[in-house]
Amino acid sequence: MKKLTIFLFIFLLSNTYLLAQKSASKYPPKELHAVYTDSAITVDGVLNEKAWQNAELAKDFYMNYPSDSSMAKSKTEIKITFDKKFLYIAAICYDEIKDKNFVVTSLRRDFDGGNNDNVAFYIDPFGDKLNGFLFAVTPYGVQREGLISNGDNLDQSWDNKWYSEAKVYTNYWVAEVAIPFSTLRFKEHSQEWRMNFGRIDRKRNEMSSWVHVPINYRLSSLAFSGAIHFDQPLHKPKTNISLIPYAIVEGTKDQLPENANPYAHGSTINNLETQRVELAPRVIPANHKANVGLDAKIAVTPSLNLDITLNPDFSTVEADVQVTNLSRFELFFPERRQFFVENSDLFGSFGFSRIRPFFSRRIGIGRDRNSGIIVQNPIYYGARLSGRLNKDWRMGLMNMQTAGTDNGNVPSQNYTVAALQRQVFSRSNIAGLFINRQRFDSEAGNDAYTRLVGLEYNLQSADNKWVGKVFYHRAFKPNDLHDNHAHAGYVGYRGRKIWSFVNYEYVGRNYRINDIGFVPRTNLWRFEPMVGVNFYTPQSKIVNRHGPFFYQNIYWSLDGQMQDWNTSVQYSVDFLNTAYLEVGFNRDFTFLFNGFDPTNTGGKELPSNTSYVNHRGYIWFMSSRIPKLGYAVSTSYGEYFNGYRTNFYGELSYRFQPYGSININIDYNNLSFPAPYTSRDFALVGTRADVSFSRKLFFTGFLQYNQQSDNVNLNARLQWRFKPVSDVFLVYMENYFPENFAAKNRSLVLKVTYWLNI
């Protein structure tokens, strides 16, 4: 397998130069000149300042959807100017359809770009066509920002300070934006950036961009961008330090039965059920506490940023959505904590989705040595230096120190992560990674540390069609186990009509790094080919695209034992009104190398060293996203181990724009097995309300019932953004037993954050 990695590395490297020479687009290049202004600009959606009258115009947008072979029908014009502190962008979005309202889901910040009328600005300050920023505004002035990495991956969790206003006129609407240079990362004295501008007009159901983006790529694809020329060099702001202190008051109350597991899930459900019946509940007096902390952002250079957090608090981060867990392996939930987001691709993009050498959600949690339960433990501090050294080099260095729990059952840990990335050719890079998790107490033993070193090569062709990766990672522990490495690689082609990927993975028996990463299974090698075909129908008035997709996934153990395989065939249809239909058939093989209860509820296990071949069919339909009332339904039926599984999913949503939406969904599973194995019905029901009273005051609430974990969860969050990136949060959370709504635990949090520029 190592030879395969070396071969794939040589193959990708030898072909990168040829792929890099291809033009990113057959369309003529575009450029725009930005003129410096020394006169004041008021961000109000009224373009009456002299700087706007003198600004050059970016126009003649190309259509991206529903067809990419013509100019946009919805006319859009862009202007850019700048001064010492701000980059100013103005968008004039013409609106000829007066018998329809704008499609806007709410006034809440960080809206879903695909479901809202909006204009977006894609900024690539270093011109590497891989990393950049997104800023977007709706006709109602709602903001959205995010970080772009790996060419077109958008992370919307990033939050920073910028200003905008929108104003609707008779036949058009205007978005006016001021982005502080202190918010962006760029090379000092630079005079050329790359940008693209995109517009989604759901009234007309059209997507368009200034630089042509083919229909099979996202508008955020930085491979398609134009040159922006500044008529004066850009300078580093004199001071670029931001302090974000917080203060929090929290009250919690636990009302669980004595000895009950407050984190009960999966196989512990039956134990919790017994305890609830036999034991009287204990009432613990409410626990109140107050706390303070601080985040700081320090611009070491215009392109290199130092982030510091002291005594961070993440209690106002939105809770994970519950799921029905029928897997034999750990489930993955994405990082939501703000400190870990900016430049997170430097650390988090190493490896593959199922071989992640670094997973930041491991920081601040630990396994209780007595109960075996995963619990949270505080973080004392964190520091991260990340960004660019120059156009070709990016670096990231992070250190975090966690505290032990009060009972001593979870020890204190230190985490150090270092990443270095060198761009090669036009859009490819070579990257190295080092991770160290360290305990310093005398009882650490073989858990004293986990260390990992890794090297990767990432391919991105100039025309965005070819992608690939090859990597080698090696882990180190005090007992120095053999076969403690992983290597893998893939190459993919993303053409307009045909797209395909082929992937292989090797994970050693002792590549056990789930204290720093996410690797749900070891002792395997995997082969994963897939191919799809797109048939575009520009003449149709109903269908936009349709086509088949074939997928194969095979796992072997390292001693040659077949573990799992899956063959999937599906056919999908994209409708012109944004509705979507998918029909598929799966054939699966599963070998149980350990005993397993398919319901994950502690029932009788299927014996180890048994195998199963199952067949399943499914259908999925999602209605158009343009009307206020929308829905999605899916159903599947087929064999499941030695029984059968029936699944139904339904979702209904209504948008009372522009103030928000309400959503109701149900996920139902019927698992039927022959005696003596346990048959179960699982219902997962949720409702969510997202209400924006204004562009500064938001409410989000959701109620979830999970039959598998025997839990009802209520989470309500009120957010008041009284200044840019300065907030007051009021968050209430409670868990109940579903049959009588007796409380398990509850908490109420009041948190204030304030962004202060020095």
Q: Torsions phi, psi of 77, nearest 5?
A: -130, 140
Confidence of residue 7 (pLDDT cuts 50, 70, 90): low
Give Cβ neighbours of residue 303 (< 8 Å, ≥ 6 apart).
Answer: 125, 126, 185, 186, 187, 188, 387, 388, 389
The answer on pLDDT for 410 being more than 90 is no
The sign of the dihedral angle between the CA atoms of 337, 339, 343, 346 is: negative
Q: How far is 362 from 316, CA to CA, in rounded Å?
A: 18
Residue 2: what pLDDT?
59
Residue 533 has pLDDT above 70, yes or no: yes
* CA distance linking residue 684 with residue 707, whole number of Å: 6
User: How far, CA to CA in Å, does 400 sit from each of 312, 317, 380, 443?
Assistant: 11, 19, 8, 21
Instruction: Check residue 279 and give its pLDDT.
Output: 28
What is the C-alpha to C-alpha distance for residues 197 and 79, in angstroms, rounded to an integer?
11
Percent of the chain with pLDDT over 70: 91
- Identify how many contiguous H helices and E strands the chain contains and give both numbers: 4, 42
What pLDDT digit, counting tens, does each position of 29-63 carry? 999 999 999 999 999 999 999 999 999 999 999 99
Contact 201, 718 (CB under 8 A): no
C-beta separation of 530 from 550 below 8 A: yes
Q: Partners of 687 in the beta sheet?
A: 664, 703
Residue with tokens 């109602």: 140
Q: What is the pLDDT of residue 485?
A: 96
The full 3-state SS of 180-220, as one line of letters, equals ECCCCCCCCCCCEEEEEEEEEECCCCEEEECCCCCCCCCCC
What's the pLDDT score for residue 402? 93
Please state, in angstroms and rounded to a whole number, the distance separating the CA atoms of residues 758 and 523.
Answer: 52
More confident site: 5 or 426? 426
Vertex 629: Cα angle to 626 and 632 (nearest 5): 90
pLDDT given at position 24? 47
DSSP 302-325: TTEEEEEEES---TTSPPPPP---
Q: Residue 378 pLDDT more than 90?
A: no
Q: Is 12 left (phi over 0), alpha (psi -120 to 50) or beta?
A: alpha
Whether residue 271 is predicted with pLDDT greater than 60 in this model: the reply is: no
User: Does the pTM exceed 0.85?
Assistant: yes
Q: What is the pLDDT of residue 122?
A: 98
Does 258 score more than 70 pLDDT?
A: no
Residue 408 has pLDDT above 60, yes or no: yes
The whole-number average pLDDT for the span 363-382 is: 81
What's the full length of the chain, in residues?
Answer: 758
Work out the pLDDT band at 319, boundaries 50, 70, 90. Answer: low
Question: What's the angle, vertex CA 431, arms to CA 506 and CA 25, rounded to 5?
Answer: 100
Tokens 């490495």 correspond to 485
Distance (Å, whole) CA 106 – CA 661: 7
**By C-alpha distance, which of 139, 148, 75, 92 is closest to 111?**
139
Three-point CA angle 60, 64, 68, nearest 5°: 90
As given in the structure block, the two tokens for residue 184 are 């962006």
Structure tokens at 236: 């580093």
pLDDT band at 334 (very low <50, low <70, confident <90, very high): confident
- The pLDDT assigned to 336 comes to 72
Return the percent helix, strand and coil in the chain, to nearest 5.
5, 50, 40
Stretch 346-354: mean pLDDT, rounded?
89
Mean of per-residue pLDDT scores for the chain: 89
Domains and CATH numbers, the chain: 37-230 (2.60.40.1190)
Contact 533, 504 (CB under 8 A): no
Q: Looking at residue 70, what is its pLDDT?
A: 93
Among 125-134, 289-298, 372-381, 393-402, name the one with the lowest average pLDDT.
372-381
Is residue 12 within 8 A of residue 458, CB to CB? The reply is no
Show Cβ contacts of residue 48 under 8 Å, excluding neighbours closer than 6 positions. Answer: none
Query: Which residue in the block uniquely carries the two structure tokens 């899930």?
Result: 265
Examine the pLDDT at 285 and tell me if it is beyond 70: no
pLDDT of residue 261: 47
Q: Residue 746 corresponds to which tokens in the numbers above?
A: 């509850």
Q: What is the pLDDT averaged over residues 176-199?
A: 95
The pLDDT score that the predictor gives to residue 25 is 57
Neighbouring C-alpha atoms within 13 Å toward the C-beta of 378: 15
Cα pseudo-dihedral 265, 269, 274, 275, rounded to 10 = 0
Whole-Å CA distances, 182 to 156, 195, 234, 669:
19, 18, 11, 51
- Angstrom distance (rounded) from CA 62 to CA 67: 10
Residue 507: pLDDT above 80?
yes
> Which residues, other chains included, contact 675 with Cβ-Cβ below 8 Å and sequence gap of 6+?
none
Confidence bin at 543 (pLDDT 50/70/90): very high
Task: Work out the average pLDDT over 121-147.
Answer: 95
pLDDT at 272 over 70: no
Indicate if the pLDDT at residue 208 is higher than 60.
yes
| Token pair of 665 as six digits | 């969904």
What confidence category does residue 267 fall into, taking pLDDT thresholds of 50, 70 and 90? very low
- Triad 349, 114, 354: Cα angle to 5°: 25
The whole-number average pLDDT for the span 307-334 is 81
Lowest-pLDDT range, 56-60, 111-115, 326-330, 475-479? 326-330
Highest mean pLDDT among 93-102, 500-509, 743-752: 500-509
Quote the tokens at residue 420.
Answer: 């270095």
Q: 3-state SS string over 356-389? A: ECCCHHHCCEEECCCCCCEEECCEEEEEEEEEEC
Q: What is the pLDDT of residue 269?
A: 26
pLDDT tens for 666-697 read: 999 999 999 999 999 999 999 999 999 999 99
